[in-house]
Structures are given as C-alpha cells and as structure tokens.
A and B are shown apart, each in its own frame.
Chain A
C-alpha cells in the first residue's frame, strides 16, 4: 500500500528529466479549455451582455414594449416551452414524484432569477406560467396517480415536506 505513493513521485521525476533534456519548447502549462465567461455552470453566461441586449430591445421600442415582446419575449417563451416539454418527459421517466416536484420547484426559482438577471421584469409572470404549465399542469394527474410515489403514497407515509410542495 505504501509502496505505491513512494513510487509515484520517483516515477514523475525520472519521467520529467528526459523531457527537459530533450528541450521541449512547452514551458507553460496548457491553458484551460474554456475562458471563464464561456463556462456552462449556470452562471457562466455573460449576464451583463445579455442584459444590455435586452435593454436595446426595450429602448428601441420608444416607451412601448412591443418590440421587446415580439422580438425577444415571444421566441423566448416558445423556446422555454419546448425545453421544459422535453425536460418533463426526461424527469417523468427518471424521477419519483417528490423528486420531480423538487426539480420543478428549483426550475421555477431559476427562471425567476434569470428574469431578474438579464430580462425585463414584465417577462416574469408569463415565463413562470409557461414553466408551470409544462412541468406541473400538463402532468398533474400522471404525477399524483403514480404507484409507489404518488399522492396516496405521500399521504400514507406522512411526507409533510413533499405535500407542502403541492
């Protein structure tokens, strides 16, 4: 067991020495694959840039939001509907009802934050309505009637937190 860690550094040193001797030009470590503003960790997108784009839609409307509504909000709502329609199918197949509901709850919070970060505040209620419709209303009976994790099961096992989510 202890022989393995002792071998590790030894091997690295002996492995590095010939590489340096052969005169490899790579003196710097390789740069990370993505610049930080392109990361996909949920907050990696450039919110400031998106916010400025949104503001252009609002400004160009000269006091009315029609340009924003037709040029940005409507396509966004359509894309959101398609996205959560797909997600809800995935989640229905993979998750129990309580897990599904907590995912749906998180999705609603995330979308509300998205509006706050880089959209116009008038988008919040239509966007959340779309998410609710696709994640909850469309599958309400399927979620509640489910064997093993549906409503009857929740009541039977007194799952207060999960019931509160409903």
Chain B
C-alpha cells in the first residue's frame, strides 16, 4: 500500500515535499500505519507473541 502510494505521489514527493521540508512520503506512510493500525493492535500482538514463545519453550 505504502509502495503504491509512493509511486502515485512520486512527483509531489520529489518537489513539493522537498520544497516545504515535509516528512518524506515513505516516512509519513509508515507513521500513518503506526497510528492507525499498529498502536491499536500492538498490545494484543505482543501478548500473542509471548504466548507463542511460551509454547515454543
């Protein structure tokens, strides 16, 4: 998703973003993913991963 958006907005990223010293599209996309998805599920994911490690031991 981040990659498609990157291709789509390549031109803006190269000129407009540079010019206004805004965060790069890739960084902005990752940050948006973190806010929208990662922060919401992180606690559950960590818990599930620790359970998996526990089973693995």
Contact = CB atoms under 8 A, between A and B. Distances in A.
B49 A72 contact: yes
Nearest to A110: B57
Chain A interface secondary structure, helix, strand, loop or mixed?
Answer: helix
The prevalent SS among residues of B at the interface is helix
A62 B31 contact: yes
Chain B interface residue number, banded: 10 to 19
B9 interface: no
B46 A83 contact: no
A118 to B, nearest CB: 9
Interface in A84-126: 110, 114
A53 B30 CA distance: 15
Contact of B54 (A43, A50, A72, A79): A79
B30 A50 contact: no
A114 B53 contact: yes
Contacts of A62: 27, 30-31
A79 B49 CA distance: 11
B56 A60 contact: no
A59 interface: yes
Interface residues of A, number: 22
Contacts of A60: 30, 33-34, 38
A59 B50 contact: no
A40 interface: yes
Contact of B52 (A45, A56, A67): A45
A44 interface: yes
Interface of A: 40, 42-46, 50, 53-54, 56, 59-60, 62, 67, 71-72, 75-76, 79, 83, 110, 114
Interface of B: 27, 30-31, 33-34, 38, 42, 45-46, 49-50, 52-57
The 10 A-B pairs at the shortest CB distance, nearest first, are namely: A45-B56, A60-B34, A45-B52, A79-B50, A60-B38, A40-B55, A75-B46, A71-B42, A72-B46, A53-B49
